């Protein structure tokens, strides 16, 4: 078992390591705060822009709105939010090797157009190999996460290409484990299975939210996926500010109450995605077939039912819930599965979930979780909107 009082790591057959509740947990309870071991920008390399990260600090990714002085690297032009952040970066995220690697990769990618995915994988590899010499223990933590050498031909060709590119233009300094194609390939697998996207602020005008930076979080990486999660992630990349040094931390908060022993799961993407798209993403990106309770129900739906799923579920929820619900939707689901009288209404828990825990704001698709200090107030983890259940 792991170390926190609220949750711990255990092994579940067919699911690998998993987070479980070590005691009954309340909706809104913060069960984890985690800091990244690796962070990297989600922007492509740009030749005509000497600032690697446009309006963000290259170290902590906070927005640089006002900057009275020019706080940037005199060699590569990367910008920082403060001199303190720049100074911290010089021995951590922005070592002389990273600085040179960024210059050379920027030059390479401006001369040779390559897909964004490949450019981002190059950024990740620079951060990961840098971690190997600035903090070997944290590099070993990265290596202990899920993900091994890919057999997928696309992954193989990316690893081959990036390994030979980095070897030829910016080979990392002497590494304890050596700089091998196999290590590059394993690192890319760790990134693919474990990285969280730190998103740009929500805007109703944009259907797709864009990612500002990616981070790998050593403990949050143990949460498995469920299409009806019981916990969700909050991040505050601009809110906390770099002065506190923890604006890239993520917080995992319970969506509703769960009993001791229950597995705590996140959804690896917005919960509104349809069955076929969820299955495809989970298979292609994470290598497993999801057989959660929601998928078991939706596997039997026709395509048109899938299209109207959320609308129908919300309507059903209006009819079925009559406003009187228990707090634990998972438990409801199990109770219902056991009750013959409820047969034919297997999708009821979905309806309850969408109605209660999905943000209503246009294009948001965020998940609502109670505020830790006011359980009657539900906060959206994407747009930040708060809904007071006592006033609804």
Ligand X SMILES: C[S@@+](CC[C@H](N)C(=O)[O-])C[C@H]1O[C@@H](n2cnc3c(N)ncnc32)[C@H](O)[C@@H]1O
User: What residue ranges bind ligand X (CB under 6 A)?
Assistant: 14-18, 146, 193-194, 221-222, 224-226, 286-288, 290
Of 18 and 377, CB closest to ligand X: 18
> Considering the complex, what minimum distance in angstroms separates the CB of residue 57 from ligand X?
27
Give the residue at shortest CB distance from ligand X: 16
Which residues neighbour 370 within 8 Å (Cβ) at sequence distance 6 or greater? 27, 28, 254, 255, 376, 377, 378, 379
> Considering the complex, what minimum distance in angstroms separates the CB of residue 375 from ligand X?
27
> Considering the complex, what minimum distance in angstroms separates the CB of residue 359 from ligand X?
23
Of 218 and 372, CB closest to ligand X: 218
> Considering the complex, what minimum distance in angstroms separates the CB of residue 330 from ligand X?
14
Of 16 and 136, CB closest to ligand X: 16
Of 289 and 392, CB closest to ligand X: 289
> Considering the complex, what minimum distance in angstroms separates the CB of residue 15 from ligand X?
4
> Considering the complex, what minimum distance in angstroms separates the CB of residue 290 from ligand X?
5
Of 122 and 189, CB closest to ligand X: 189
> Considering the complex, what minimum distance in angstroms separates the CB of residue 308 from ligand X?
25
Q: What is the DSSP string of 255-319?
A: SS-B-TTPEEEE-SS-TT--HHHHHHHHHHHH------HHHHHHTTS-HHHHHTHHHHHHHHHHH
Q: What is the DSSP string of 139-204?
A: HHHHHHSS-----SHHHHHHHHHHHHHHHHH-PPS--TT---HHHHHHHHHHHHHHEEEEEPPP-T
Q: What is the dihedral of CA 261, 350, 229, 355, to 10 degrees?
A: -120
> Considering the complex, what minimum distance in angstroms separates the CB of residue 145 from ligand X?
6
Of 191 and 226, CB closest to ligand X: 226
Return the half-sphere exposure (C-beta side, CA atoms, 13 A cut-off) of residue 140.
5
Cα 66 to its chain centre, rounded Å, is: 28
Closest CA to 225 of 13, 25, 15, 8: 15
> Considering the complex, what minimum distance in angstroms separates the CB of residue 9 from ligand X?
8
334/320 Cα distance (integer angstroms): 16
190/188 Cα distance (integer angstroms): 5
Of 17 and 138, CB closest to ligand X: 17
Of 125 and 228, CB closest to ligand X: 228
Distances 376 to 15, 27, 327, 379 between C-alpha atoms, Å: 33, 10, 12, 10
Distances 79 to 25, 56, 76, 98, 229 between C-alpha atoms, Å: 42, 7, 9, 14, 38
Q: Specify the pairing of strand 16-21 against strand 231-235.
A: unpaired
Of 103 and 198, CB closest to ligand X: 198
Between helix 116-134 and helix 136-144 the angle, nearest 10°, is 130
> Considering the complex, what minimum distance in angstroms separates the CB of residue 149 from ligand X?
14
- Structure tokens, 312: 């129908």
Q: What angle do CA 28, 285, 365 make, to 5 degrees?
A: 40
Of 175 and 193, CB closest to ligand X: 193
233: burial class by Cβ within 10 Å (0-12, 13-18, 19+)? buried
């Amino acid at each position: 078992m792991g170390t926190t009082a609220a949750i711990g790591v255990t092994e579940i057959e067919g699911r690998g390591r998993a987070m479980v509740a070590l005691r009954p947990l309340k909706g809104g309870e913060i069960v984890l705060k985690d800091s990244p071991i690796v962070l990297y920008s989600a922007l492509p390399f740009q030749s005509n822009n000497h600032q690697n990260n446009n309006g963000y600090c290259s170290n902590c990714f906070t927005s640089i709105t006002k900057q009275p002085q020019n706080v940037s690297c005199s060699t590569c032009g990367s910008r920082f939010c403060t001199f303190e952040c720049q100074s911290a970066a010089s021995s951590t995220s922005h070592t002389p090797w990273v600085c040179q690697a960024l210059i050379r990769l920027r030059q390479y990618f401006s001369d040779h157009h390559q897909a964004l995915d490949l450019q981002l994988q190059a950024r990740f590899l620079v951060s990961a190999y840098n971690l190997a010499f600035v903090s070997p223990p944290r590099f070993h933590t990265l290596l202990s996460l899920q993900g091994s050498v890919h057999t997928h031909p696309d992954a193989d060709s990316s690893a081959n290409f990036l390994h030979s590119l980095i070897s030829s233009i910016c080979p990392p300094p002497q590494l304890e484990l050596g700089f091998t194609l196999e290590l590059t390939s394993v690192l890319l697998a760790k990134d693919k299975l474990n990285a969280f996207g730190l998103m740009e602020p929500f805007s109703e005008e944009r259907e797709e939210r864009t990612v500002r930076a990616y981070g790998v979080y050593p403990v949050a990486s143990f949460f498995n996926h469920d299409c009806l999660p019981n916990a969700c992630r909050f991040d505050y990349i601009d809110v906390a500010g770099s002065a506190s040094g923890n604006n890239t931390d993520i917080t995992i908060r319970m969506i509703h109450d769960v009993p001791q022993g229950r597995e705590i799961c996140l959804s690896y993407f917005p919960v509104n995605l349809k069955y076929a798209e969820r299955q495809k993403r989970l298979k292609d990106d994470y290598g497993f077939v999801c057989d959660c309770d929601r998928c078991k129900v939706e596997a039997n739906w026709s395509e048109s039912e899938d299209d109207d799923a959320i609308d129908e579920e919300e309507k059903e929820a209006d009819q079925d819930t009559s406003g009187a619900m228990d707090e634990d939707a998972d438990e409801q689901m199990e109770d219902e599965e056991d009750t013959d009288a409820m047969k034919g209404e297997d999708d009821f828990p979905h309806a309850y979930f969408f109605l209660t825990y999905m943000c209503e704001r246009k294009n948001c698709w965020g998940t609502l979780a109670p505020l830790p200090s006011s359980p009657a107030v539900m906060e959206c983890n994407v747009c930040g909107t708060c809904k007071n259940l006592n006033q609804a």
